[in-house]
Amino acid sequence: MLIKKPADLRYSEITPKALYLNRRNFLAGVPAAFLGARELMSPSARALAGTKFPNVQKSKYTVGDEKINSYQEVTTYNNFYEFGTDKSQPAETAKNFKTSPWSVSVEGACAKPRKFTMDEILALAPLEERIYRHRCVEAWSIVVPWVGYSLSVLLNQVQPTSKANYVAFETYYDVKQMPLGPRGGLPFPYVEGLRMDEAMHPLALLSVGMFGESLPPQDGAPVRMVLPWKYGFKSIKSLVKIKLVSSMPTATWNAANPSEYGFYSNVNPKVDHPRWSQSSERRLGEFRKRPTLMFNGYGDQVASLYNGMDLKKNY
Amino acid sequence: MLKTRWAKALAFAACLAPIFLLAWRAYTQHLTANPIEFITRFTGTWTLRFVVFTLAVTPLRKLLGMPDLIRFRRMIGLFAFFYGTLHLITYIWLDKFFDTGEIWRDVLKRPFITAGFTAFVLMLPLAATSTAGWIRRMGGKRWQLLHRLVYVTGIAGVIHYYWLVKSDIREPAFYGALVGVLLLYRAAVAIRNRKPKPAVKRAAATS
Ligand code: HEM
C-alpha cells in the first residue's frame, strides 16, 4: 500500500491564498513583546507589520465580484523607481523608509492653503475600504482593498478658487533615503497631475492603507493617490505636496516620453502603447490573459468626465 | 587541460546551470508575483549572454593565448540558440497562448519584438549548419561568412533590449558596450589584415 507522507506536500499546496491573509492578521495581533523576534524574520514577513485601522467602513465604490490579490503579491511586485527599477526591489530597499513625522502641503489656487499632518489626514473623514481594480500600463493588473476616502474631502478643506483648473501632485524625494533614485533614468521628485473635475470625482481615492492596515513603504506609505480608471503610474505614491494650478501641470512619465504616456492615461483597450497592446492584461495569479475594460471597468462612473473628447488623441 | 573530454563535459554542465537555477527558483516559489514575465526576462537575458559569450571566444583565444577555446565555441553558440528557443516558447505559449494573430501583429507592429524576432531568425541557419559536415559541404570561407550573421544577432538583441526598457537603460547599455567592443575588435583585426604587406605574404592567417 502506498501512503503519501505529509512531507511530500509543499507548503504552497496546502496553504490557499486566503490563509496567507489570516496568517498575516495573526502576526499583526502578536503582542509587542514579540516584536524583537519579528525583526529576525525574513524581510517579506517584516513588511507585513502595519498598523491596523480600527473602524474601517464598507464603501459603495467597491467592486464586488473580483478576487482580491494576496498581500504577498501586492507588496513584492512594485513599480516605485525611487527605490529601484526592478519590481522586486522596493520591498527590500524601502524597508526603512521614514514615514513619520509626515505632512502634506495643500497649496496654490485656494482660499486656505495649509499643511496637514498625517494625524490630521487620518481624522478628516471616516476611513473606507474600497476594493479597486488596479491596471498597470505594462499590461498586468491586481485587485487591492485600499483604505482611505475621496480626495475631494481634503481639497474642500482648502477651498479651491475658480483658478484651480488642475491639481499637481508631488512625491517625497530624498536621495539619502532613495539612493537608487538617480539610476532610474527619471527626473525626481516624481510629479503627476489631474484635471480638477477628475480630482474631485468620488472615485479618486486618497489612500492611507490597504488590507485593513497602514500602507507598507513599497506601496506608497504613508499616503498616496489611487485612480482606478487610469494606468497605475498616475496614482502617485508617498505624497507630500498638492498644488492647485490654472494650467496643465507636468507629469513625470508624460514628460519623459510624451508619445508613450499621455497626460490623461485613462485605461483604454483601443489605444495601444507603442510597445505593447493594451487590449488585454494579465491579472497577477492568473495564467491566461483577460480582456482589458474601457476605463478599467469604471466607465459608468467616469466616462462623462470625457464627453466630447477624442480619447485616441487625448490618451 | 582544455583538450580533455572532462573540460567539455564541465563546460556543458556550466551552460546548463541557468536552467537549473530557473527550476530551483520555480520549486522554491521565487519566480516573483508575475512568473511569466520573470521567465521571459530570465531566458531573454541568458540568450543575450550566450550570444556575447560566443562572440567573446575568438578575441579571448588571442588575448589569453588559449587557442583551444575554439573547441567550445560551437557548444556555446548552440546554447545561445537553446535559450533563445526557450525564450520564444515562453513568449508564444505562456505569454500569448498561441494566439498567432496577436503574435504576428506584435512582430510587425512592435519594433522591439521585430528586433528580437530578427535576432532569433538569424540564429536558425547558424544552428542548422553548426556541424563539421556542414563546414565541409559549404567550404570554410562560405561557412564563416554565413556565421558572421551572429554579429547581427548580437546587435539586434541589444536593440531589442534597449527598446523594451522604460527608462532605466543601464542593462541594455552594458550589453551594448560588450557587443560593441567585441565587434570593434574584429573590425580592428580586419583593417590591420587588409593593409598591404607586399614583403611578407601573410597567407592563410587561419582563424
Ligand atoms: C522571436 C523572438 C523574440 C521575441 C518574441 C522576444 C520577446 C521578448 C519579450 C516579450 C520580452 C519581455 C519584455 C518585457 O517583459 O517587458 C523580452 C525580453 C528580452 N529579450 Fe527577447 N524576444 C525574442 C528574441 C530575443 C533574442 C534573440 C534575444 C537575445 C539575443 C532576446 C533578448 C531579450 C532580453 C535581454 C530581454 C530582457 C530581459 C530583461 O528584462 O532582463 N530576445 N523578449
Residue A247 confidence (pLDDT) above 50: yes
Structural domain includes residue B17: no
Picking from A309, A194, A315, the residue whose alpha carbon sits closest to that of residue A260 is A315
Q: Provide the grid cell at A68.
A: 482580491
Q: Say if residue A222 is preceded by a cis peptide, omega within 30 of 0.
A: yes
Domain total in chain B: 1
Structural domain includes residue B25: no
Comparing alpha-carbon positions, the chain A residue that sits nearest to B169 is A185
Helix axes B140-147, B149-164, angle to 10 degrees: 10
* Contact list, B28 vs chain A (CB under 8 Å): none
Q: How far apart are CA B165 and CA A138, in angstroms?
A: 11
DSSP structure class, residue B206: -
| CB-ligand 1 contact for B92 (6 Å cutoff) | no
Domain ranges of chain A: 1-44, 50-306
Structural domain includes residue B2: no
State the average pLDDT over residues A196-208. Answer: 98
* Contact list, B166 vs chain A (CB under 8 Å): 85, 185
Residue A41 confidence (pLDDT) above 50: no
Full-model pTM: 0.85
Residue A148 confidence (pLDDT) above 60: yes
Backbone phi, psi, residue A243, to 5°: -125, 130
Q: Which residue of A144, A289, A290, A292 to mutate against B (max B Cβ within 10 Å)?
A: A289
Cα atoms in the Cβ-side hemisphere of radius 13 Å centred on B88: 17
Residue B81 confidence (pLDDT) above 90: yes
| CB-ligand 1 contact for B120 (6 Å cutoff) | yes
Q: Say if residue B198 is preceded by a cis peptide, omega within 30 of 0.
A: no
Structural domain includes residue B158: yes
Q: Which residues contact B84 (CB under 8 A, 6 or more apart)?
A: B43, B47, B119, B120, B123
Interface confidence, given as ipTM, is 0.85
Structural domain includes residue B88: yes
A185 close to B (CB below 8 A): yes
A255 close to B (CB below 8 A): no
Q: Which CATH number fits domain A50-306: 3.30.565.10, 3.90.420.10, 3.40.640.10, 3.20.20.30?
A: 3.90.420.10
- Specify which residues A244 forms β-bridges with: A108, A167
Measured between CB atoms, which of A77, A184, A287 is closest to B168? A184
Averaged pLDDT score across all residues of chain B: 93
* Contact list, A287 vs chain B (CB under 8 Å): 36, 94
Return the pLDDT at B199. 56
Q: Provide the grid cell at A132.
A: 479597486
**Contact (Cβ atoms closer than 8 angstroms) between residue A193 and residue A168:** yes
A174 C-beta neighbours (distance < 10 Å), count? 13
Q: Which residues contact A59 (CB under 8 A, 6 or more apart)?
A: A128, A129, A130
High-pLDDT (> 70) share of chain A, %: 84
Give B14-63 pLDDT, tens digit per residue.
Answer: 999 999 999 999 999 999 999 999 999 999 999 999 999 999 999 999 99
Nearest CA to ligand 1 atom 15: B37
**Contact (Cβ atoms closer than 8 angstroms) between residue A141 and residue B34:** no
* Contact list, A184 vs chain B (CB under 8 Å): 167-168
Q: A183, B97: Cβ pair inside 8 Å?
A: no
Comparing alpha-carbon positions, the chain A residue that sits nearest to B102 is A277
Return the pLDDT at B207. 46
Structural domain includes residue B152: yes
| CB-ligand 1 contact for B91 (6 Å cutoff) | yes
Averaged pLDDT score across all residues of chain A: 87
State the average pLDDT over residues A70-96. Answer: 96
A289 close to B (CB below 8 A): yes
Structural domain includes residue B86: yes
Structural domain includes residue B31: no
Query: B149 is in which domain, residue-wise?
Result: 38-189
Nearest CA to ligand 1 atom 35: B45
Backbone phi, psi, residue A18, to 5°: -60, -30
Element (H, E) at A195: strand A191-195
Pocket-testing residue among B79, B97, B104, B160, ligand 1, by greatest number of atoms within 8 A of Cβ: B160
Q: How far apart are CA A300 and CA A189, in angstroms?
A: 34
